A and B are shown apart, each in its own frame.
Chain A
């Protein structure tokens, strides 16, 4: 280890743009650096993918079935590790993250999936509280925190219902409330609208946009074309494991691209 004589470089750089005031750029919260992932001995599910996500970004990851969207989410929560390259979250290379520090990473993240993953024998409030009970039992003001999370997703009046008594959209909202309970800085969603009708799906996307507005970085994998085109947010388009497009205020499809 060497002793540095000069002060550490600033964590935030200011960049001048062509016209207008300088734009502040926070250091990236997520970095993919030439990441490849091969399951077993098959073809690579993700191949040489590089991108960065800055804090408070909202990113859609789009692509056809099998393009590698879920793999990117699984790499981010370190359910899988990269076969090549580096996945870096908040400055931490996930390949070097020790297994026993995995819970710390997961508590920084909110995660929701297409299939909600609610426990059917627990009420709405119990499902949300579960995330705290198994990570920080004895945390004070549990009821208030659960109430607050359910208020954000608009389900404060369904506290004592069971998941089977809710619509799909409402169930996904419960999953989002549970994911919010640790106040995550990063929110990941893998096909959150996949099981929902267009209206309910759009409601969920609105909610994610609102969560993003409150300060969380959001990465959402989807093949819901309408949602992407209406939202006008950054799009990472995947095809056969490769990143073929990275566009601010992007569209689901670009002219000339095959129907995904």
Chain B
């Protein structure tokens, strides 16, 4: 079979399908655009949320290892060095007693209490600490177990400090956000698929006489199928472009400083657009494939 006239025929029929059935084609374009918009927005929101949560996550993964007061500076440096060479440790910094006091004073309403304690010769009750920034939340308990038995540590029930509670909570948030996004994308994808299928089935119904004749004179199934697949792909890609234009437009409107809204980078936005186009093409061709199947049954 000569590909060029075949291609011409296929594209011509696909375009005719769209023009002749412009009502349903427009409806499917619109609904597929809306569903892709939903999918794109969901991806953007999940990504932005993921970014925020990731930030929270790095903050939450700070582990304070409190030092006993008698420990020499050399042993502290040695421990700090050892901890900083752990693969899960991003940064290990030393915070001495004065800094601890200052930190506490700035953060909480304890300033006055501390001042009074120091002025009355009570000294500084806050211990020095090595503050560990960990690569991820999961490493916190492992490092904690590793250091908590060291004789250098502050005696008492809490030789280390991290917010045990915030970690699983954050993990649950991230999981919920991803799951919600995935479900939303799946649902809107299914809706788009059904709409394209209906639209192609309508086009095939309008052309049923033509399909009947094609089969009678010996056209192959693929030759019957191609125009409808191309029609689906055209609708899918046009919808993706429309949805992308709307999303990027909104992003630009509310964005600032080289980023789109929600702090989304241009690179990521480009990937989302490519993803929507690919998604539209896949939805379109798959929907068409299903839509035309019944017409090819006999």
Contacts and interface: CB of A to CB of B under 8 A. Distances in A.
Interface string A86-106: 000000000000011011111
Contacts of B8: 137
Contact of A106 (B2, B5, B210, B215): B215
6 contacts: A77-B216, A100-B220, A106-B217, A130-B213, A135-B223, A138-B2
B218 A103 contact: yes
A178 B210 CA distance: 13
Interface string B216-236: 111111011000000000000
Nearest to A179: B217
Interface string B76-113: 00000000000000000000000000000000000000
A117 interface: yes
Contacts of B6: 137-138
The 10 A-B residue pairs with the shortest CB-CB distance in the complex, in nearest-first order = A138-B2, A106-B218, A107-B218, A137-B5, A138-B5, A131-B217, A134-B219, A103-B218, A137-B6, A134-B214
B56 interface: no
Nearest to B212: A117
Interface of B: 1-6, 8-9, 209-210, 212-221, 223-224, 298
Given A136-B1, A138-B4, A104 B210 contact: no
Given A79-B298, A117-B212, A119-B209, A133 B5 contact: yes
A137 B213 contact: no
Contacts of B213: 117, 119, 130-131
Given A103-B218, A134-B223, A117 B5 contact: no
Interface residues of A, number: 25
Contacts of B212: 117
Contacts of A219: none
Contacts of A178: 217
Given A119-B210, A133-B9, A111 B216 contact: yes
A137 B1 contact: yes
Contacts of B2: 137-139
A182 B219 CA distance: 12
A134 B9 contact: yes
Nearest to A79: B298
B216 A117 contact: yes
A45 to B, nearest CB: 16
Interface in A107-142: 107, 111, 117, 119, 130-131, 133-139
